[in-house]
Amino acid sequence: MNRSAPTIVLFAFGFMAVSLVLGSWAAIDSRSGYVLACTLVIVVLIGVVAWYAIQLVNLRAALIQDKVVQETERSGLILKQTDDLRKRKALISVMEDLRLEVSQRKELEHRLRRTQYVVDEAKDVVLIVKRDGTLSYANEQATKLFGYSNVELLQLSPSDLDDFVEIDSWESYWQTLDSLGNQIYESRYRRKDGVRIDCQVHSSILQFEGESLVVLFIRDVTELKRAEAFRATLFELSTNPHLIFGEYGILDCNKAAIELIGVSSKASLMDHSPVEFSPLLQPDGRRSDEKFREMYATAYRDGYHRFEWMHQTIDDEPLPCEVTLTPVDHRDGKSLLAVWQDLRERKIAEAELRQYADELEVANRDLEEFAYIASHDLRSPLRGIGQLAKFIREDDADHLTPSSVEHLNRLDQRILRMQNLLDDLLMYSRIGRKEGKLEEIDLSKLVSEVIDLLAIDPAYEVQILDDLPVIVSYATPLRMLFLNLIGNAVKHHNRDHGRIEIGFQEFQTEYRFRVTDDGPGIDPAFHQRVFKIFQTLQSRDTLEASGMGLAIVEKTLLRFGGRIELQSELGAGTTVQFAWPKFNQAIAGVSTALGGNENRP
């Protein structure tokens, strides 16, 4: 229905009522006519209002009906959408469950493959045995260890492989394993070729899909057993005492320990602490038990500890030892291996050495005193003899025969030789007494000074082949070495001209110098003799020498930790090479630039 219709009708009735009233007023000019007109107007208005109200109710009902229809259609659509959504959620849930199931299945398959791979590739043998004693699985390592193929293995039983398992005793073995749960034991297995191998076995029962299975993990310990037997043999047969001890005392020891301590058997040492075989106090005054705990802790902390210790025998005889403590694994738990080295003979030797050193010190002092006395007290008579020869030569020059002049000349030579001998003797006795101090030494300058001091005849060419560095060392003994070696090369040359070469090499802990000449050389038969005191290879009447040059060189080198080597053949010249140790260069005031020339060897 058109919503504007009630309004049109209302205007129509209103217009009619007004017309009627106006007509009535015009026709009836009385009071009754007025009342009637008003009544009619009211009736008409009431009718119009009533009709309009009815129309409004109908209109509202129509609107409500339209809304109900719309809501119904909407509810149906919502219900349909809800149902579709529920179906969609159900489908998604099913798909998610399926995805999870697939993922879990893949993960399970991956774990199974991984477990299978680990078992197959395990370094230990893995066997799975059924309740009836037949093998249901053997990994790759089993085929390698026992020498059977996988097919052959699965046709065997444990009794075919294990020496200690009989086919009749399998049920008893099963019952024992079932009651204990797990077992670790050692057994002996047989290979296909009949060879026996020692094995460690870890067995357990596994429930799988309602079936009881025995899983055997088998490890070949043949080499380990051999090594243990070898170590046990070394332990027992070692000449040094070996003791294994823990918190509660000695756990094991060898025969040497029993003999050194002086007990009758190993049982006499068991459960005793090693410190019980020690005096109350150690040589440093500390209590043995307190110091022992410190040594014990140090060995565990550092993994190894060596020290000297004063033990004592069962008869309380002092027993100085060098002790080495090493932590070891022992079946009884945390333990230490103690190895004793008897130091009694070494202590005696050290005491004798100290005594010899003291005696040598006294002898050296006596030698120095003798050399001092000889060099001073004998010089006066020598000077007197020289003066007398000089007076004779001056006073009786006109009366001396050629023979007398020759005798006086020889007398002068003997006096000079004796003076040189006394000088060399004094120098020899003082070697090592006055070392001086470590200082910077320019070796090029030092060698040049030595050459100048020797005043070598220009006919002898002295050549330095290598660059000589600046080093930190003792100058006085080095100068004396070069004085003797270069001087000998000139003095003992068999010609009035020659060539002398000086070489140098640097090594990690030492310097090496060599002095080479082209002189007469030395027969190898006399190489040792030339280093002895007062020894010369030529007559002193032919060559004026004291025979102490190389003796002084050798003693100096020995004193400072060096060494000397002679290389020579008769008629082929001589090379004297000596090694001079490097001394500590960390001295105050010594520059870091003491490395010398950059181009040195």
**pLDDT by residue (tens digit) across 122-166?**
678 888 888 888 888 888 888 888 899 988 888 888 888 887 777
For the cut 60, the answer to whether the pLDDT of residue 28 exceeds it is no
Q: Distance between CA atoms of 148 and 221, rounded to whole angstroms?
A: 19
Q: Give dist(CA 204, CA 92) in Å, integer.
A: 45
Report the share of the chain in percent with pLDDT over 70.
Answer: 73
Instruction: Look at residue 413 and give its three-state secondary structure.
Output: helix
Distance, in Å, from the CA atom of 334 to the CA atom of 299, rounded to the nearest integer, reads 12
The DSSP-derived string for 62-95 is HHHHHHHHHHHHHHHHHHHHHHHHHHHHHHHHHH
Supply the DSSP symbol for 582: P
Say if residues 121 and 131 touch (Cβ distance below 8 Å). no
Pairing between β-strand 460-464 and β-strand 470-473 as defined by DSSP bridges:
unpaired
Instruction: Tell me the pLDDT of the chain averaged across its residues.
Output: 77
159 Cβ contact partners less than 8 Å away, ≥ 6 residues apart: 133, 165, 166, 167, 170
Cα dihedral across residues 399, 402, 404, 410: positive or negative: positive
Q: Do domains 122-220 and 348-427 have the same CATH topology?
A: no
Res. 598 pLDDT band, cuts 50 70 90: very low
pLDDT at 81 over 80: no
By percentage, how much of the chain surpasses pLDDT 90? 9
pLDDT at 215 over 60: yes
Assess contact for 340 and 257: CB atoms under 8 A: yes
pLDDT reported for residue 593: 34
Helix segments in 306-455, DSSP class H = 344-377, 379-395, 402-429, 443-454
Domain 225-342, CATH class in plain words:
alpha beta
The 10s digit of each residue's pLDDT in 311-347 is: 998 888 999 999 999 998 777 678 888 999 889 888 8
Domain positions in the chain = 5-116, 122-220, 225-342, 348-427, 435-581
Length of the chain: 601
In the prediction, which pLDDT does 544 show? 47
Q: What is the pTM of this model?
A: 0.40
Half-sphere exposure of residue 76, counting CA atoms within 13 Å on the CB side? 5
Any idea which architecture 122-220 has in CATH?
2-Layer Sandwich (3.30)
Are 126 and 138 in contact, with CB atoms under 8 Å apart? yes
Question: At 592, is the pLDDT very low, low, confident or very high (cuts 50, 70, 90)?
Answer: very low
CATH top class, domain 435-581: alpha beta
Q: Which CATH architecture has domain 348-427?
A: Orthogonal Bundle (1.10)
The confidence score (pLDDT) of residue 542 equals 47
pLDDT at 588 (0 to 100)? 35
Query: Of 524, 500, 440, which Cα lies nearest the Cα of 475?
Result: 440
Query: Which of the four pLDDT bands, split at 50, 70 and 90, describes residue 586?
Result: very low
pLDDT of residue 417: 65
Which pLDDT tens digit goes with each residue over 413-450?
A: 777 767 766 666 666 666 655 556 788 989 999 888 88
pLDDT tens, position by position, 497-530: 888 899 999 998 899 999 998 888 877 776 666 7
Top pLDDT among 66 and 429 is at 66
pLDDT tens sequence across 83-106: 667 767 776 776 776 667 666 666
Least confident of 251-255, 288-292, 353-357, 389-393: 389-393
- Classify residue 183 by its DSSP letter: E
Q: Give pLDDT, residue 549.
A: 64
450-471 pLDDT tens trace: 888 778 888 888 888 888 889 9
pLDDT reading at 366 higher than 80: no
